[in-house]
Amino acid sequence: MITLCMDTSHKHLTLALIQDDQLIKKSMTECFKQQSETIFPELVKLCEEAKIKPDDIQEVVVTTGPGSYTGVRIAMTIAKVLCATKNIPCYALNTLQLYSGNHAKCCVLLDARSKRAYFAKYNHGEVVQEPGVFTIDEIQNFIKPDEEILGDGSLLGKEDNYVDLAESFLSLKPYWEKVENIHCLVPEYLKSSEEYLVK
């Protein structure tokens, strides 16, 4: 069983190939806003190195956000079209959960621009605080001294701290959520379309 994992929802482009609970190839590049051009050349390279063909891919895992709206849509479009036309299963994983990397007692924050961030808390992949979008000040108050900060730590004046996202896909396998109807898969924006109505 070969699984293709993809995340384009933040500033990294992460691709991983998993074969029977083993990470066989991975590619992590920092390419904010370049994912559209970069993803297929990277994917081709990855498959060549792993000596597999597109037909060998039997399932797909994709992150659903929250993150960059355009970014999330890139991997998700690929996952939807690939799984629908190849008739293979698709699994979804929350982006913040991926960035939590199965760590114990951790806070994950990712830049949501305008001094806000996407934020959630996890303990070994399990949700402790549901993903939401908050101001940086709000987030400061959420964090307890014994919690690890992952993701865009620089927003809080700390170091950015990114886990190995390819490894993270594998270690979070229990949290992959089966997509029942591939056509209904949509990103989690945490901002509804209604908010774009001019009042």
Partner 1 sequence: MSEIILAIESSCDETACSIIKDGKEICSNVVSSQINVHKKYGGVVPEVASRIHVENISVVIDEALKTAGITMNDVDAIAFTQGPGLIGSLHVGVQAAKTLAWAFNKPLVPLHHIIGHIYANGFVDELVFPLLALVVSGGHTELVYMKDEWSFDILGTTQDDAIGEAYDKVARVLGLPYPGGPAIDKLAKEGKAHYILPTPKTEKELDFSFSGLKSAVLQLIQREEKKGETIVPADLAYCFQETALDTLVNKTEKAVHEFKPKQVVLAGGVAANSRLREKMTETIGAIEGVHLTIPPLWCCTDNAAMMGAAGSVAYRHKLFGALDCSANPCKEIDC
80 φ, ψ to 5°?
-65, -45
45 binds partner 1 (CB under 8 A): no
Measured distance CA(101)–CA(112) in Å, rounded: 20
36 binds partner 1 (CB under 8 A): yes
96 binds partner 1 (CB under 8 A): no
Closer to partner 1 at the Cβ: 84 or 133? Answer: 84
Interface pick for partner 1 out of 69, 129, 138, 158 (rule CB under 8 A): 69
27 binds partner 1 (CB under 8 A): no
74 binds partner 1 (CB under 8 A): yes
Q: Give the tokens for residue 187.
A: 């990103």
Q: Residue 100 CB, nearest distance to partner 1 (Å)?
A: 25
Measured distance CA(112)–CA(119) in Å, rounded: 9
125 in Cβ contact with 102 (< 8 Å): yes
133 alpha carbon, distance to own chain's centre: 16
Strands 148-151, 59-63: pairing is unpaired
Piece of 23-31, 66-74, 100-108, 157-165 that binds partner 1 (CB under 8 A): 66-74
Closer to partner 1 at the Cβ: 88 or 156? Answer: 88
Between helices 35-50 and 69-86, what is the axis angle to 10°? 40
Interface pick for partner 1 out of 141, 145, 193, 199 (rule CB under 8 A): 193
Residues that bind partner 1 (CB under 8 A): 36-41, 43-44, 54, 69-70, 73-74, 76-78, 80-86, 182-183, 186-187, 189, 193, 196-198
